[in-house]
Each structure stands twice: as structure tokens, then as C-alpha cells.
């Protein structure tokens, strides 16, 4: 089953991110009231319980979730299908398969929230002096690291002879 081995590593990465994401969000929901914040490192890092009805950085959160949420769910399902299809065309070397697995796991983690709750739970909150980064979660970390790995793959493995064209 050589074809299945190609998918094992990305899907293990996806499962790891999705499970870590859902576990961490469940812990926050169990231990924090909505919109509660607790300093972990004063003036730098807080744990919070944010209910994000929008997308990354809270974009679209001011719009009616009754129509935004179904669109975001559909877009996420479409993107997940695209990532799974793209994994098929990648070689096993280079960071792209792992990066796609991280993206897939992050998308699944946030999709579970959005489908089940109607919003995404964000809980990691970083400040630096007067700069405040929007709250995020483990799924967002997986997506971000996955994109960085894809960019590195494009830079350092651009014409990899191991890439499949079919």
C-alpha cells in the first residue's frame, strides 16, 4: 500500500493538531467564563475565552453570523477538500506534506467549533507594549506554521524531481 503511506504523515499531523486544538478549547471552556481573561505573563501573555464569529483576527465578526457562518463552513469544507487533493500530488520529501497536514488539522479544528457552536473558541492572547495581537488558538497555530512550511517548500524544493505531475 505505497499510496496510503503518502497520506499517513500528513493525516497524523492533521489528527494531532485537531485533537490538541479541541482538547485545549474544551479546557478553556470548562475553566473560563466567556470573555474572561487571566494573565499568565503580565503585560505579555493572557489566557482568554473569546467567541469568534468571524474569521482570522476577528474579521467579519461584526456581520450577521446567521449567513456568515454557513458561508464559512462551506468555504472550509471546500478548502479541506482542496488540501486533501493537493496532498496526493506532493512528494514525500520536503516540508510541504507536513505543512498541509498542519493546515488540514487546523481547518478541521476550527470547522468543528463553527459547526457545533456557531463560533470558534480563541484563547491565546499576546500583548507587547501597546500592541495587541488578536486572540488565536491551536488550530490557528497549525494553519500558520503549515503555511510557513509550504512557503519554505516552494523556496527550497521548487523543482523537486520527486513531485508527481498526476
Name the DSSP letter for residue 91.
-
Q: Is 46 helix (H, G, I), strand (E, B) or coil?
A: strand
- Catalytic option among 113, 125, 140, 153: 140
Structure letter (DSSP) for residue 53: -
How many helices, marked H, and strands, marked E, lie in the chain? 4, 4
Identify whether 122 is a catalytic site residue.
Answer: yes
Cell digits of residue 87: 496532498
Cα(first)–Cα(last) distance of the chain, in Å?
A: 18
- Answer yes or no: 21 catalytic: no
Query: What residues does 47 pair with on adjacent strands?
Result: 38, 124
Catalytic residue among 21, 122, 125, 153: 122
Phi, psi of 43 (to 5 degrees): 60, 20
Write out the catalytic residue numbers: 122, 140
Amino acid at each position: 500500500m505505497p499510496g496510503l503511506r503518502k497520506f499517513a504523515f500528513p493525516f497524523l499531523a492533521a489528527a494531532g493538531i485537531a485533537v490538541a486544538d479541541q482538547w485545549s478549547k474544551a479546557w478553556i471552556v470548562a475553566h473560563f467564563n466567556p470573555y474572561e481573561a487571566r494573565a499568565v505573563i503580565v503585560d505579555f501573555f493572557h489566557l482568554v475565552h473569546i467567541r469568534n464569529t468571524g474569521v482570522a483576527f476577528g474579521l467579519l465578526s461584526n456581520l450577521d453570523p446567521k449567513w456568515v457562518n454557513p458561508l464559512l463552513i462551506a468555504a472550509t469544507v471546500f478548502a479541506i477538500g482542496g488540501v486533501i487533493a493537493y496532498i496526493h500530488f506532493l512528494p514525500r520529501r520536503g516540508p510541504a506534506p507536513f505543512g498541509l497536514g498542519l493546515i488540514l488539522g487546523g481547518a478541521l479544528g476550527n470547522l468543528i467549533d463553527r459547526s457545533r457552536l456557531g463560533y470558534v473558541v480563541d484563547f491565546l492572547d499576546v500583548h507587547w507594549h501597546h500592541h495587541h495581537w488578536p486572540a488565536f488558538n491551536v488550530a490557528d497555530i497549525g494553519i500558520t506554521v503549515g503555511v510557513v512550511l509550504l512557503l519554505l517548500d516552494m523556496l527550497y524544493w521548487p523543482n523537486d524531481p520527486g513531485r508527481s505531475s498526476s
